[in-house]
Amino acid sequence: MSKMANILGLRIHQRLPVLASVYPCSASYNATCAIGSIHSLSKALKKWTSGGAKAPRRLILGLGVSFWTQYMNMAGSVGGNSFIASARQKGAVEEILKNVEWPEQFPFKEEDFQRYDESPDTLFYEAPRLVTHIDDPAIAALTKYYSKVFPPSNTPGISILDMCSSWVSHFPSGYKQDRIVGLGMNVEELKRNPVLTEYAVQDLNLNPKLPFEDNSFDVITNVVSVDYLTKPLDVFKEMGRILKPGGLAIMSFSNRCFWTKAISIWTSTGDADHALIVGSYFHFAGGFEPPQAVDISPNPGRSDPMYIVYSRKVSTA
């Protein structure tokens, strides 16, 4: 195993108790699956870092900071001061997508998108979960971000898709548009979502084709769920198809997940790596402007972190 893989291996063993405590689960971790992913990520990062003098420094920095973050999270969980770690995290996530020299080919392999629980997603999402998946300050930060970048409420002709939606979309209070669609796995959750004007139930891992017309949405959101997509490139290509030229896609995530259902490349990496992974989906799907990352974490170190990776569909004008 390479030195990098060793480092990542260490991170996995450190991270597991944290994840397990966020979403308690009796299952033990699938080490084989994770190790496959470590090899792939290690290879991918080697590839990204082997091409020249500029990008490598930045990517190594990203991974190094990620490792540091994991280390400091551990320290925080046993009573250390996590404020310094959070300050470093902020820089790491925001920097990681600046001037990336992407490899020619999508660097991830099939095993990177395996999950510990490969049973049908319909089973996992069968019962409605009328809960929130991030804490209130993180939700408030996301809502505040939306209020800055969304088209004004009640703008004629605006359509928004909330992908991987549930009973809440975290849109600004009273926000309305002619069309706000939620696409998710559980009909009871979607029925209760007050911001939606319509909804669709679809397993994107079985059928990544979005059931909407070309160039029909101004904004696509996806909250704390991009890590469950096993065919992300197909889904991101579809997002590009259904967005209007210049339309905005906002992927947000924290450091929590249903780890048995998250892809192995996600559960074996840290926050800055996650921004790089989501950025790679935009880049390799094609048709998007260079993706950017924003750290909107509230109360660093004292509440859930919150990150955005966003991009716009290129304008054809």
Point out which residues bind ligand SAM (CB under 6 A).
121, 125, 133, 164-166, 168, 184-186, 203-205, 223-225, 228
| Least gap, CB of 258 to ligand SAM (angstroms) | 6
- Angle formed at CA 198 by CA 194 and CA 204, multiple of 5 degrees: 110
Q: In whole angstroms, what is the distance from residue 141 CA to residue 298 CA?
A: 6
Residue 99 or 173 with smaller CB distance to ligand SAM: 173
Task: Give the Cβ contact number of residue 214 at 10 Å.
Answer: 9
Nearer to ligand SAM, 108 or 125 (CB): 125
Nearest distance from residue 54's CB to ligand SAM, in Å? 36
CB of 123 to ligand SAM, least distance (A): 11
| H or E segment to which residue 31 belongs | helix 31-48
DSSP assignment string, 217-261: EEEEEEES-GGG-SSHHHHHHHHHHHEEEEEEEEEEE-S---TTT
Cβ at position 110, least distance to ligand SAM in Å? 17
Q: Which is nearer to ligand SAM, 39 or 261 (CB)?
A: 261
Q: Supply angle C-alpha 191, 260, 132, rounded to 5.
A: 35
The alpha-carbon radius of gyration of the chain (Å, integer) is 19
Residue among 141 and 164 whose Cβ is closer to ligand SAM: 164
Residue 49 or 186 having the CB closest to ligand SAM: 186
Q: Are 171 and 150 in contact (CB under 8 A)?
A: yes
What's the min distance (Å) between Cβ of 121 and ligand SAM? 4
